[in-house]
Chains A and B, each alone.
Chain A
Amino acid sequence: MSLLELEGITASYGASQALFGVDLTVDEGEVVALMGRNGMGKSTTINVICRLLKNQSGTARFAGQDLSSYPSYRAARLGLGLVPEGRRCFSSLTVWENLMASARKGEWDLNRVGRLFPRLQERLDQYAGSLSGGEQQMLSIGRALMTNPRILILDEATEGLAPVIRQEIWKAISELKKDTGLSILVVDKTIKELALVADKAVILERGRTVWNGQFQSLDATITDQYLGV
């Protein structure tokens, strides 16, 4: 049984339907890339997984539980660790406070997050609002890890960051994969960097899953058809 399973998910924002049938599975220890052009439903799919948006039909299951009756905070407790788009750190709290506010017991603690992101370790007493974009992104990932999730969900984790910082974050993600065997669902647009970590890929087009398979078997025809501009 897969850790995360979406089947035939449809969802709307008010009157406008955004998802028309999304299928997606993430197995234990697997890194899945969720891809597609802008506005194809990637973030909406993540909102449905995290129960920030209710799906109208289809089933969403995590760790064997049907998520439909779960409010957002209880779904998170099952082990969904979201790194939201746009980072959204708590800007008036320090780095230390941001991390402690979300801490739950488990392997991940302040020391381990500090080892993964030494930059955070150096800035524990700095306010999150005064961090650079890359540091805020690291904090956002650290905050999700502090909840000791079973799956890490990264929504556009490297968007708008300097190339050096992007590399640092991708390095951290591949370290996570190698050292912990954490399941990861990652939304991103850069195929080259996803190739470093992803086992599988799911491509969305107009709110529907249109391609689903091993990341290596993604070829130019597919990427041109669904991801090219």
Chain B
Amino acid sequence: MKSGRTTTGLWRLLSLPLLLFFLLPLVALLLRAPFDRIIESVMREQVRSAIGLSFVTTLISAAIIVVFGTPVAYLLAVRHGRIEKLIDTVIDLPTVLPPSVAGIALLLAFGRRGLLGPAFTVLGVDIAFTQVAVVLAQTFVAAPFYIKSAAIAFAGIEVDLTQAASLDGANNWDIFRHIMAPLAWAGLVSGLVMSWARALGEFGATILFAGNLQGVTQTMPLAIYIGFEANLDTAVTLSVILMGLSFSALLMAKALLNRAG
């Protein structure tokens, strides 16, 4: 018992350097935050439009991620063939690629001169420099977080349950709706929150693919980047807001998982 406590203490001590390394920059940011002028900062046109734009685009991205990511997650959970392993690897790719690579790739695929450019031109659709581009960039980098989490949640459901349901005459859609989705919901929601937080922080792919125009494509991370050069107060205010949102999102995701577990 006593030795157990000592080892815990030791591990905590060993965890300290990295924890401090994480916390120090965040503390520095909070110390520099113009809290006395924060209302004034938030009321600035540029800050308000960046916050609004970030919310709208990330919510759309999250919706797209659920609709198109859930089937992929389900597939990865129930099948483990060679093709699924390949899909799994493809899904992993955006999480390790530099976002700037994602931005260039998206531009070369969906831009006016991109692979699909001529098709879009025929339809009269232009994606680069629009909010559609912002959403695509966010979805590209953020979707893997949801898919991974959802796949693990689906895979955690006992096979007996689905087999029993199947014997009782339930079809695949019934099984998904009445067994898989309810049992996996904590994993789904926490994965979605993680995805949303990642989308909220998306910068590199957005600035390359969607450009930077206040009120149109200038999301919070872009306003922080440009604001850093023009007005440090703007940049710090937005950084603190972004940090608060991300921290709450992560706490929420973890609380959900703990409740389910």
A pairs with B = no
Question: What is the interface of chain A, defined by CB distance below 8 A to chain B?
Answer: none
